[in-house]
């Protein structure tokens, strides 16, 4: 199993309530399957996990326990998730539609329920990514769920959530956890401790009270990339140095350009996916233009958030049939003091949106003006070149 696989899920699925919660083992199976999805996949397929990988991933000892694996898969197929919808409604679905083992093959074939397609396939804007090996090191299902939620909010560095909502998202359905003291001591504190010790995150929290009662938790999230992640049951495998993927090579190159900030693996995977869909073979060049701008434009206080928000805006223009590049972008101090062209609000804003905003008529008009202006510039050389 490739520990460098990246798990990418739509944010609505990250925020879902686990009505019939997955166990830690089941969660690892699901997330391993998610990591096998390619960005270009248009439909689900049978995701193949070898029996050997099942043993390593689930911590099964000794010879292959086919009966135990069958029980785990059978239980997995009964689990239900409730996903919030944009219209304030909800979708309830199973995780898995089919599972198959062919005697003597040594592999399990599992397929996602089709209702999960919008949350796992061809994701373009509201999604979260992280490396698979970060969750394989965790033993508690609550730690795995908390890790996913923290990853979603990592770029803004904090997240506030009511206690009732947090219980639902973590799948803490036992009635005893309705008492905050039990929930805190049995679930919240152990999960935070496990994340701080075993993953690339450092989590702190603060209790928000309403009267005497703790009403919400405010999390502070910090990424600690230098922390070494140890994955149980994979440590004894010979440590052959794997060839870096093309995306990792690109990340190293752009990190050499970045000044005062760095792109971690999961965050860069999001940016690269969006940039590749917009600019295809020119994605690296456009990212370089944007990074050089951020390095010189001193008014940008949150470089990673700024870059992400601008690529999101570029995607909206791309979706509308237009094309935008960052080739001519210059920092304020280098612009000519004479006739100055004003950049539209969608680009000059330095604030990263916490969540993508709803469509804005003014924003659409601004983008339309920009596209017309670009089209006129392309026509002008042709008109000037025509005989008088």
Calculate mean pLDDT across residues 267-293. 84
Kindly tell me the sign of the dihedral angle through the C-alpha atoms of 15, 24, 76, 132.
Answer: positive
Q: 318 and 278 in contact (C-beta within 8 Å)?
A: yes
Calculate mean pLDDT across residues 82-103. 88
* Tokens, residue 374: 């670009």
Least confident of 255-259, 304-308, 373-377: 373-377
Calculate mean pLDDT across residues 107-136. 88
Calculate mean pLDDT across residues 219-231. 69
pLDDT of residue 343: 45
Distance of CA 67 to the CA centre of its chain: 34
Q: What is the pLDDT of residues 30-54, one digit of tens each?
A: 998 998 998 888 899 999 888 777 7
Specify the higher pLDDT residue, 271 or 114: 114
DSSP codes joined into one string, 13-56: HHT-B-SSPPPHHHHHHHHHHHHT--TT--S--PEEEEHHHHHH
Specify the higher pLDDT residue, 81 or 335: 81
The SS3 of residue 2 is coil
Confidence of residue 64 (pLDDT cuts 50, 70, 90): low
Given a cut of 80, whether residue 234 has pLDDT beyond it is no
Instruction: Give the bridge partners for 99, in sequence order.
Output: 110
Given a cut of 50, whether residue 350 has pLDDT beyond it is no
Helix (H) or strand (E) run with residue 212 in it: none
Of 118, 123, 129, 112, the C-alpha closest to 8 is 129
**Gap between the Cα atoms of 120 and 38, Å rounded:** 10
Instruction: Give the bridge partners for 201, in sequence order.
Output: 223
pLDDT of residue 338: 42
Specify the higher pLDDT residue, 357 or 39: 39
Calculate mean pLDDT across residues 331-339. 47
Given a cut of 80, whether residue 336 has pLDDT beyond it is no
Calculate mean pLDDT across residues 341-350. 45
* Tokens, residue 224: 């600690």
Calculate mean pLDDT across residues 166-189. 90
Most confident of 214-223, 279-288, 347-356: 214-223
pLDDT of residue 349: 47
Mean pLDDT for all residues in the chain: 78
* Tokens, residue 206: 């603060």
Of 129, 149, 117, the C-alpha closest to 308 is 129
Plot region of 324 (φ>0 → left; ψ -120 to 50 → alpha; else → beta)? beta
Confidence of residue 272 (pLDDT cuts 50, 70, 90): confident
**Gap between the Cα atoms of 280 and 274, Å rounded:** 9
Q: 9 and 120 in contact (C-beta within 8 Å)?
A: yes
Confidence of residue 132 (pLDDT cuts 50, 70, 90): confident
Cβ-based neighbour number of residue 98 at 10 Å: 11
Q: Identify the structural domains of the chain with CATH numbers, from first to last.
A: 1-121 (1.10.10.10), 137-235 (1.10.10.10), 246-385 (no CATH)
pLDDT of residue 93: 93
Confidence of residue 278 (pLDDT cuts 50, 70, 90): confident
Calculate mean pLDDT across residues 358-377. 58
Q: 201 and 154 in contact (C-beta within 8 Å)?
A: yes
Who contacts 184 (Cβ-Cβ below 8 Å, separation ≥6)? 214
Q: What is the pLDDT of residues 284-317, one digit of tens each?
A: 888 888 888 888 887 787 888 888 888 888 888 8
Specify the higher pLDDT residue, 97 or 329: 97
Cα dist. 36→20, 43, 112, 121 in Å? 24, 13, 12, 11
**List of long-range contacts for 154-157, beta carbons under 8 Å, 24+ apart:** 154/201, 154/221, 154/223, 154/267, 155/267, 155/304, 155/305, 155/308, 155/352, 156/305, 156/352, 156/354, 157/220, 157/221, 157/222
Q: 54 and 60 in contact (C-beta within 8 Å)?
A: yes
Question: Judging by DSSP bridges, how do beta strands 6-10 and 127-131 pair with one another?
Answer: antiparallel
Confidence of residue 357 (pLDDT cuts 50, 70, 90): very low
Given a cut of 60, whether residue 340 has pLDDT beyond it is no
Calculate mean pLDDT across residues 304-332. 79
Who contacts 99 (Cβ-Cβ below 8 Å, separation ≥6)? 73, 74, 76, 77, 108, 109, 110, 111
Kindly tell me the sign of the dihedral angle through the C-alpha atoms of 73, 77, 80, 86.
Answer: positive
Most confident of 226-230, 295-299, 348-352, 371-375: 295-299
pLDDT of residue 383: 53
Helix (H) or strand (E) run with residue 311 in it: helix 303-319
pLDDT of residue 187: 93
Specify the higher pLDDT residue, 228 or 321: 321
Specify the higher pLDDT residue, 111 or 107: 111
Specify the higher pLDDT residue, 331 or 234: 331
């Amino acid at each position: 199993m490739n520990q460098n696989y990246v798990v990418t899920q739509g944010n609505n699925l990250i925020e879902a309530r686990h009505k019939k919660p997955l166990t830690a083992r089941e969660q690892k199976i699901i997330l391993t399957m998610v990591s096998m999805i390619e960005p270009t996949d248009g439909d689900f397929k049978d995701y193949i996990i070898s029996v050997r990988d099942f043993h390593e991933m689930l911590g099964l000892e000794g010879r292959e326990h086919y009966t135990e694996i069958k029980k785990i898969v059978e239980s997995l197929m009964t689990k239900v998730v409730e996903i919030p919808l944009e219209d304030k409604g909800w979708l309830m679905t199973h995780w898995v539609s089919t599972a198959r083992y062919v005697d003597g093959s040594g592999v399990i074939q599992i397929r996602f329920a089709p209702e999960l397609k919008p949350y796992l396939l061809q994701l373009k804007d509201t999604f979260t990514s992280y490396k698979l090996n970060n969750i394989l090191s965790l033993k508690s299902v609550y730690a795995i769920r908390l890790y996913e939620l923290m990853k979603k909010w990592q770029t803004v560095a904090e997240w506030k959530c009511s206690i009732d909502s947090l219980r639902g998202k973590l799948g803490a359905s036992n009635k005893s956890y309705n008492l905050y003291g039990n929930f805190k001591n049995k679930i919240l504190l152990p999960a935070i401790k496990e994340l701080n010790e075993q993953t690339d995150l450092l989590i702190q929290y603060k209790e928000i009270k309403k009267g005497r009662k703790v009403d919400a938790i405010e999390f502070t999230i910090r990424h600690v990339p230098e922390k070494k992640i140890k994955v149980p049951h994979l440590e004894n495998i010979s440590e052959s140095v794997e060839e870096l993927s093309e995306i990792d090579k690109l990340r190293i190159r752009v990190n050499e350009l970045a000044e005062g900030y760095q792109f971690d693996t999961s965050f860069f995977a999001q940016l690269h996916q969006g940039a590749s869909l917009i600019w295809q073979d020119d994605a690296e060049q456009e990212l370089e233009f944007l990074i050089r701008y951020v390095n010189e434009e001193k008014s940008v206080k949150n470089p990673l958030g700024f870059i992400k928000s601008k690529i999101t805006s570029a995607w909206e223009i791309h979706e509308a049939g237009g094309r935008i590049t960052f080739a001519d972008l210059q920092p304020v101090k280098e612009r000519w003091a004479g006739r100055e062209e004003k950049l539209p609000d969608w680009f000059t804003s330095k604030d990263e949106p916490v969540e993508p905003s709803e469509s804005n008529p003014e924003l659409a008009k601004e983008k339309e003006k920009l596209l017309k202006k670009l089209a006129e510039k392309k026509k002008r050389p042709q008109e000037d070149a025509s005989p008088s």
